[in-house]
Chains A and B, each alone.
Chain A
Amino acid sequence: MKDSERRGTHTEKAIPVRKKNLQLLNILPFAVFLACYAFAPRVVNDAQLTTIIYIGIYALLAVGLNLLMGYAGQVSLGHAAFFGVGAYTSGILTAKPIANEVIPGVSAGVGVISAVAALLLLTKPSGWKLAVGISLLVALGWLHNLPNLIPVLCAACAVAVMGIFGLMAKLQWMRTCLSGVVLTLVANLSKWFLKGTLERGSASPWTGLLVGVFLTAVISYLIGSQVLRLKGHYLAMATLAFGIIVEIVFRQWTSVTGGSSDGIFNIPSIQFFSYIPGFLRRLYEAAAGGSVDLRTQYYYLVWAFVFIAIVLAVNIVRSRVGRAFRAVHSSEQAAASLGVDTARYKVQVFVLSACMASVAGTLHAHNAGIGYIHPSEFGFIVSVELVVMVVLGGMASVWGSLFGAAAIQTLKDRLLDLEKTNPEFWGLKLQGLDPIVFGAVLIVVMIVLPQGLVRGFSDGVALLWRSARRSGRQQGVN
């Protein structure tokens, strides 16, 4: 009975969340966003544009992390690791020359991996069937490797062999055939993709992006399926440990990552204007008011990704799977009892948010005019920064993450400016303030604005508006 008294908060005081006739409110932010996106380069100077690019990269990270932390309720203190995997994969592939000879091998390998994934997804083979299927695919992948066989023959061979295997092993033959088709398609696609890199001498940033995402997906799946069984502090510790291990790898694996003394430099930027149709380019030029330089181009690219990420995140949150994520956050038991496969969804959102971090990493590595990455950019402190961004913007608020990222990035810039003046406080040199300031921000936000910037602000406005209306109504009665 005491329970019912405690919970019996009055419905009249609560604010209904979203009315049907307010659909416009859902579209409005996107319209504002697009307007700002198009015209920002007209009003900001070069230094500000650089900051805005960084804000975009961190916004991408924060939106992804918010899906995991704010919506699905799974803490990650190692998110910067995936940011790093994306950055390093792309950096290594694009800044270092690629040998001609590896191309057929790599494309066959990618084909085999995708085909095995297709085989696993499409059929439910077990034991020896799986072994036979995989070895067949490896053999067929080797076939694709041979330079003097015509592609049509390879394709026919792959499909026929897989079909016969499916028939004999009593798997569904159509589905195993399909994995043969996947093998052929992916191998040829990646061969075609890699051919382009030869002309440049190293891989294209787009290849870097895709490979980075793929690698991140694999790593985060393997890590997530183990680590996400833990809860609360244990999960936080496990992801923390993972993040630290990855940072150590970046620092120590000098031959590949350049270690902590060199890092990777001379990473080319992405000139995406050369890939888009002419009318789009003219549209961009009209928006920016003149010809678009490399830096502005990069700004447009980064924020296009941010836009896509926000649209996807908002869509996911308001869908069947998004509701399942939020349900897992609230009560895993209740969610499971309603048919939600909690383990699967937790891994799914973990992989998704890791992949978004990986994309942000690639964009970070190719940043126009910088093209340099260093292990310290992907360390523990960055993971903490990301958490602060999410909390500051508001847990379970996609748009909030954007503001959280902007606020923290601006704060970081101010701190950097401050440090340049060599401030002293009673003889104490104030250097490396970031962790202290972020810690303080986190504490203050938790106490003052537990809902985060955006939600706290909008709730405050709603409350003011309603009380104003109520007092107005009372005056009318009197």
Chain B
Amino acid sequence: MSDVLVETRSVTRKFGGLVAVDQVDFQVRRGQTKALIGPNGAGKTTLLNLLSGLLPASSGDILIRGRSVVRCAAHEIAGLGLARTFQNVQLFENMTVKENVMVGCHPWSRQGIASGALRWIGHWREEKLIEEEAERQLDFVGLSDLADFPAHSLPFGKQRMLEIARALASRPQVLLLDEPASGLSTRETSELASLLRQISARGITILLVDHDMQFVMDISDEVVVLDQGKKIAEGTPDEVQSNPRVIAAYLGVEAK
């Protein structure tokens, strides 16, 4: 049990009458790359929002590293080592590329407002660490030369990469990615796949949502399928692909 990093126990989220996530149970084990798939409106984004604390659950329980986090605020969950990206990229547009990644260093840095205002020694020391980490992550996703440009000036594909770099800067144990390949070209998608493999090789657990079946089947060890808020299948990519319920609910729609 100790290697279960993220676990949901019949977690449910309702929006008025609509049950967006319906009694979902699943686990993500340490070191895994797990995919969450399902047709549009299946509740994938909502589930990620529940996991990262941006939405409160209506009922059920969520455990991260064995601790119940249903009553935790998003920033506390981030402090437990969970980082994420967004389906509609949410960069800090008024900041530079590098500053975006530096914000990512927030969970493991400590200096408060007084230290920053008065430039205490702790500020300089920590600022150096933060800059180094930001440069490392920018280098990793290949954005080093754009470090001083405003984030909004990047082309879309690079914005997605920046968002991943920013999440990595928080030194997460689990990385949640909401449709990281959507809007990317074929070449960018294959670059992303190799990037995700490297992230996984660093020992970071990944939970990703995507529509691109080829991409998902390529990089994930396990797949969970949601349909209309319910979990309808779970298993290896091959198992899931041959599951008749999945074909009916999801692949049928896609393949038409």
Q: What is the interface of chain A, defined by CB distance below 8 A to chain B?
A: 1, 3-4, 7-11, 13-19, 312, 315-316, 318-324, 326-327, 329-331, 333-343, 348, 352, 396
Contacts and interface: CB of A to CB of B under 8 A. Distances in A.
Contact of B146 (A1, A11, A318, A339): A11
A11 B153 contact: yes
A330 B95 contact: yes
B126 interface: yes
Given A312-B118, A338-B78, A338-B170, 17 more contacts: A3-B88, A7-B155, A17-B150, A316-B116, A320-B106, A323-B99, A323-B103, A334-B90, A335-B92, A337-B52, A337-B74, A338-B75, A338-B103, A338-B166, A339-B75, A339-B79, A396-B94
B159 interface: yes
B150 A14 contact: yes
B83 A337 contact: yes
Interface in B118-169: 118-119, 123, 126-127, 130, 146, 148-150, 152-157, 159, 166-167
Contacts, number: 144
A326 B116 contact: no
Given A324-B106, A338-B107, A14 B94 contact: no
Contacts of A348: 113
B198 interface: no
A1 B182 CA distance: 8
Interface centre among B75, B109, B156, B157 (most CB of A within 10 A): B75
A368 to B, nearest CB: 29
A323 B131 CA distance: 13
- By secondary structure, the A interface counts as helix
Given A11-B149, A18-B148, A315-B117, A331 B92 contact: yes
27 contacts: A4-B155, A11-B155, A14-B149, A15-B150, A17-B148, A315-B118, A316-B117, A318-B116, A319-B111, A319-B123, A320-B116, A320-B123, A320-B127, A321-B111, A326-B99, A327-B92, A327-B103, A333-B86, A334-B90, A334-B91, A334-B92, A338-B83, A338-B104, A338-B166, A339-B106, A341-B75, A348-B113
B106 A338 contact: yes
A9 B153 contact: yes
A340 B92 contact: no
B252 interface: no
B94 A330 contact: yes
A332 to B, nearest CB: 9
B135 to A, nearest CB: 11
A322 B95 CA distance: 11
Contacts of B247: none
Contacts of A11: 146, 149, 153-155
Nearest to B188: A4
A18 B148 CA distance: 6
A336 B74 contact: yes
Nearest to B153: A14
B95 A321 contact: no
B17 interface: no
B112 interface: yes
B155 A8 contact: yes
B148 A16 contact: yes
B96 interface: yes
Given A316-B113, A316-B117, A338-B83, A7 B93 contact: no
A330 B93 contact: yes
B73 interface: yes
B170 A7 contact: no
Interface centre among B93, B113, B116 (most CB of A within 10 A): B113
Nearest to A330: B92
B230 interface: no
B183 A331 contact: no
Given A14-B153, A337-B84, A338-B166, A323 B95 contact: yes
B102 interface: yes
A148 B26 CA distance: 71
Contacts of B92: 326-327, 329-331, 334-335
A339 B107 contact: yes
A364 B94 CA distance: 34
Contact of B94 (A312, A326, A343): A326
Given A316-B113, A339-B79, A324 B103 contact: yes
A1 to B, nearest CB: 6
B156 A4 contact: yes
Contacts of A7: 152, 155-156, 159
B201 interface: no
B54 interface: yes
Contact of A321 (B88, B107, B112): B112
Top 8 A-B pairs, shortest CB-CB distance: A319-B116, A14-B153, A339-B107, A4-B156, A339-B78, A336-B74, A16-B148, A330-B92
Interface string B39-62: 000000000000011100000000
A7 B150 CA distance: 13
Interface string B69-83: 000011100110001
B102 A17 contact: no
Contacts of B78: 336-339
